[in-house]
Structure 1
Amino acid sequence: MGIAHLADLLRDETPGAIQSQPPDHYRGKILAVDASILICQFQSAMPALSNRDGDNISVLQGLFNRTVYMLENRMKPVYVFDGIPPECKRAKVSKDGVGYVRKGPGPERHGDLKKLLRLLGVPVIQAPSEAEATCAALVEKGRAWGAVTEDMDALPFGCTRLIRNLKADKKKNIEEYNLPKILEKLKMTREQFIDLCILLGCDYTSKIKGLGEKKAIKMMQKYGTIEGILPNIIPEDRIPPDFHYREARKLFLKPNVVDVTSLNLEWKKVDEDKVLQFLSGEKHLNREKVRRALQKLHPAETPRKRKAKSKASGPSAEKQKRISDFYPAKKSANQEKSSTESSPTSSR
């Protein structure tokens, strides 16, 4: 779910802290990608696509295309996968009896996705808990330039740059949220911002009834903390018994994440033959579509250009012609006369 209505609130209250950027802006930059959010998007937005074995390959194809798009634009993605969610999140989602639903396929289905990413030369990180929390830690510690996720709770986790709508769609503007500027515009500390996010509604606790985003921000700016706000909530029955804001606050301030300082992040050359064998040979994706997608990673080396390059540099290459070979100079009348007079066979 993320943080309810946070994006709309920030667009209204923090002008200048959210920028629209072109894909070229991220060329050469390391981007921590929340894999689980992408997987969820592919499952919900893409039509179900099954191969000849009856396996649903929509997510696999979507992840392949999105990763190729980033590599084609010279971005350096590092994918982070969800681990086990905090107990309070599972309790909140399962209180209606349906049980916790993981974002996208569980770990037993992640094997193919991770294998594909490694064949594409992209680093993969398994988070112990929330993927967006580890993404935020990568950015906060300087191991990544920004975090690519649609989950706004990357911001209360401390992500200084949050990137949304990074997809191969020219009609969609890429949004970049700058946390330091957001805090400056709101005149809040990070701790106060976390309290605001809890009031708006987060994944770790229920929320106060009837407290909309506009009123929440005004009360935070007036009282400074949730503890200061609670005595001023009338009537008190608007505060649910399972409003565990202290536990939620602790999870945002000290989440369970990978030790990002010790990670060895390395981007390798795409193993195109193995990618083709895996996607087309094993998973039965359309071979020509996979080949065309891979070709985008080196557009300067198209078959036509490779042939022309080989012909120009090979041993049978023709000697470069001069312009006079195409337009031979004609002698003037005087030059013709002079040539005739100087000839040893000319008559005297």
Structure 2
Amino acid sequence: MGIARLADLLRDETPEAIQSPPPEHYRGKILAVDASIFICQFQSAMPAISNRHGDKISVLQGLFNRTIYMLEKGMKPVYVFDGIPPECKRAKVSKDGSGHARRGLRAVQGPGPERHGDLKKLLSLLGVPVIQAPSEAEATCAALVEKGRAWGAVTEDMDALPFGCTRLIRNLKADKKKDIEEYYLPDILKKLQMTQKEFIDLCILMGCDYTSKIKGLGKKKAFKMMQKYRTIEGILPNINPEDRIPPDFQFHYQEARKLFLEPDVVEVTSLTLEWKKVDEDKVLQFLSGEKHLNREKVRRALQKLHPPETSRKRKAKSKASASAEKQKKITNFFPARKSAVHEKPSTGSSPTSSR
């Protein structure tokens, strides 16, 4: 669900810390991808697609197309899947701890761990590394970037920033009408004149997944109060009477702060990340043979991974080979024969015989 209105605040206060590069900017760069965000986008934005057996394949098809797009652009994605959410988030989201769509997306039930197996298998066949996070995927994405194992994190969740993500990338192919947004945390903190801990307190006040929100405390008011008092502890005694503090806020804000400062993440420094060649035959067999996606569409998508120059050379070579097979040598039509050699009659004296 992210941080309420944080993107709006940063666009107003730190526009120079937000860039809009073209997709080609990420060629050759390792990107930690929050898989749950893509899953929610495919479920909420794409029409429901089922195969001939009634299996829902919208997410599988969406993940395939999005990953092909990233690989075609030369990006090196590593997908991170959600683990068990923190207790305070599970109590807020659902009793059984299952995931739902993030803020700004239509509320839909996310696929459970049993459905993630198909998604992880597809990514493996595409040669893309997969990480299973112990808890929040965006927290592990942030750790990958912070420790230099990834260049940036691809997620729509702004809470990757309070988790310490140095570089957050939003709207990567999510909406063609919107530009990519790249947020650079060091410049944000410098412009806001805040430390990371103060920034975390600001995000909690604005509204996060781990605690209820103080009514009447919007983004501008929360920012101004943080500039003045620097901590939540300094702000609470100065809340106006018309602003209402939920009864459980006093306990949960400290828990939320700890979750942002000390998240449960994978030990990223010991990870082995390896990108392998796409196994096109197995991808085709899995998606078309087992999951019954349109075979021709899958094949056309895979063709995008072949560089244009290579494709042109391949076509030219194939065309030349075919032409050579059809063309016959002239000797096939007019077989060559040895011509007879006729000696001309001698006009001089006869040869002198040896003595």
Tell me if TM exceeds 0.5.
Answer: yes
Q: Does 1:193 align with 2:199?
A: yes
Residue 277 of structure 2 is aligned with which of 269, 272, 275?
Answer: 269
Is contact 1:160-1:179 (8 Å) kept?
yes
**Residue type of the partner of 1:231?**
P
Is contact 1:295-1:302 (8 Å) kept?
no
Equivalent runs, 1:1-80 vs 2, <5 Å: 1-80=1-80
What is the rounded CA distance, in whole Å, between the counterparts of 2:150 and 2:135 in structure 1? 19
- Per-residue CA distance 1:190-222 (angstroms, 9 max, x = gap): 000000000000000001111011000000000
Which range is displaced more, 149-158 or 300-309? 300-309
Q: Does 1:144 align with 2:153?
A: no
SS in 2 for 1:125: strand
Residue 155 of structure 1 is aligned with which of 153, 158, 161?
Answer: 161
Change in Cα spacing, 1:238 to 1:291, as seen in structure 2 (3 Å) is same
Is contact 1:69-1:168 (8 Å) kept?
no
Is contact 2:214-2:243 (8 Å) kept?
no
Q: Does 1:117 align with 2:103?
A: no
Is contact 2:216-2:243 (8 Å) kept?
no
What is the rounded CA distance, in whole Å, between the counterparts of 2:297 and 2:318 in structure 1? 26
Deviation at 1:267, TM superposition (A): 0.1
Equivalent runs, 1:203-218 vs 2, <5 Å: 203-218=209-224
Residue 102 of structure 1 is aligned with which of 99, 102, 119?
Answer: 99
SS in 1 for 2:15: coil
Change in Cα spacing, 1:218 to 1:169, as seen in structure 2 (3 Å) is closer
Deviation at 1:107, TM superposition (A): 0.8
Is contact 1:134-1:258 (8 Å) kept?
yes
SS in 1 for 2:156: coil
What is the rounded CA distance, in whole Å, between the counterparts of 2:157 and 2:26 in structure 1? 19
Equivalent runs, 1:205-244 vs 2, <5 Å: 205-235=211-241, 238-243=244-249, 244=252
Is contact 2:34-2:138 (8 Å) kept?
yes
What is the rounded CA distance, in whole Å, between the counterparts of 1:2 and 1:91 in structure 2? 16
Partner of 1:330: none
Deviation at 1:134, TM superposition (A): 0.2
SS in 1 for 2:143: helix
Larger radius of gyration: 2
Partner of 1:202: 208
**Residue type of the partner of 1:80?**
V
Is contact 2:98-2:112 (8 Å) kept?
no
Partner of 1:282: 290
Is contact 2:217-2:243 (8 Å) kept?
no
**Residue type of the partner of 1:15?**
P
For these two proteins, the number of residue pairs brought into alignment is 314
In structure 2, stretches of 5+ residues that fail to align are: 101-109, 326-355
**Residue type of the partner of 2:82?**
D
Deviation at 1:242, TM superposition (A): 1.1
**Residue type of the partner of 2:204?**
I
SS in 1 for 2:216: coil
In structure 1, stretches of 5+ residues that fail to align are: 318-348
Deviation at 1:306, TM superposition (A): 1.4
TM-score (norm 2): 0.85
- Per-residue CA distance 1:119-159 (angstroms, 9 max, x = gap): 00000000000000000000000000000000000000000
Give the superposed CA RMSD. 2.0
What is the rounded CA distance, in whole Å, between the counterparts of 2:74 and 2:174 in structure 1? 14
Change in Cα spacing, 1:99 to 1:294, as seen in structure 2 (3 Å) is same
What is the rounded CA distance, in whole Å, between the counterparts of 1:45 and 1:28 in structure 2? 29
**Residue type of the partner of 2:289?**
G
Change in Cα spacing, 1:206 to 1:168, as seen in structure 2 (3 Å) is closer
Change in Cα spacing, 1:237 to 1:169, as seen in structure 2 (3 Å) is closer
Equivalent runs, 1:169-188 vs 2, <5 Å: 170-188=176-194
Change in Cα spacing, 1:106 to 1:250, as seen in structure 2 (3 Å) is same
TM-score (norm 1): 0.86
**Residue type of the partner of 1:45?**
A
**Residue type of the partner of 2:16?**
G
